[in-house]
A and B are shown apart, each in its own frame.
Chain A
Amino acid sequence: DVKVTQSSRYLVKRTGEKVFLECVQDMDHENMFWYRQDPGLGLRLIYFSYDVKMKEKGDIPEGYSVSREKKERFSLILESASTNQTSMYLCASGTSGRATDTQYFGPGTRLTVL
């Protein structure tokens, strides 16, 4: 079974703090994604990566950065957390092989910024 793990299930930070969210997958997938999920808005793509050290902006990259130094690990960084970044953050991974290939999601990190 594919396993995608995220470093924390719940996180509480203060405005202005630097926040790191870590994601690790064990299936040697090329592609990794960071989404945020908010009620009524669904999943919105923040950043994705299709290879080590490669990154692409998604739909809402402002206020975020990412790092992919190893194939299995994709980190999301909030340089200076703000209250509007309070959300559920979901990491996903997938392959590039076929159009039928799905994405596999981690359990999510619920981040609260006070």
Chain B
Amino acid sequence: GQNIDQPTEMTATEGAIVQINCTYQTSGFNGLFWYQQHAGEAPTFLSYNVLDGLEEKGRFSSFLSRSKGYSYLLLKELQMKDSASYLCAVRPPYGQNFVFGPGTRLSVLP
């Protein structure tokens, strides 16, 4: 079976740091992706992890622990434009399909 879990909603303040968690139970693993989706728009790629550890990309970082089936997306120096949904997706070992989590809607307040 395949199951991916994320918090439904989070709220944070402009300038702060927020961590969005993702836990997964999938039959096999070939990488974890994070996407950002603004309301009414297409998801856009943020980051990819396949090995354990932290990947940093400017204000955004993503962490993976394969043994724990756990990832998080860390957003630093939050800006109002970071208000969006953040989707966690796992790629199984075969094929090009992704399994998506339900998404976390982040609201950044002034």
From B13-21, B39-47, B57-65, B71-79, give the one contacting chain A. B39-47
A41, A48, A105 — most chain B CB neighbours (10 Å): A105
Interface of B is mostly: loop
Most chain B CB neighbours (cut-off 10 Å) among A31, A42, A44, A99:
A42
Q: Which residue of A4, A41, A96, A103 contacts B98 across the interface (Cβ within 8 Å)? A: A103
Q: Does A81 contact B (CB under 8 A)?
A: no
Interface mask (B73-94 → A, CB under 8 Å = 1, otherwise 0): 0000000000000010101000
A102 touches B45 (CB 8 A): yes
The answer to whether B30 has its CB under 8 Å from any CB of chain A is yes
Shortest CB distance A34–B (Å)? 12
Q: A25–B102 Cα gap in the complex (Å)?
A: 26
Q: Which of A20-52 contact B (CB under 8 A)?
A: 31, 33, 35, 40-45, 48, 50
- Docked CA distance A27–B87 (Å): 24
Distance between Cα atoms of A40 and B45 in the complex (Å):
20
A90, closest chain B residue (CB): B42
B contact set with A: CB distance below 8 Å: 4, 8, 30-31, 33, 40-45, 48, 50, 87, 89, 91, 96-98, 100-103
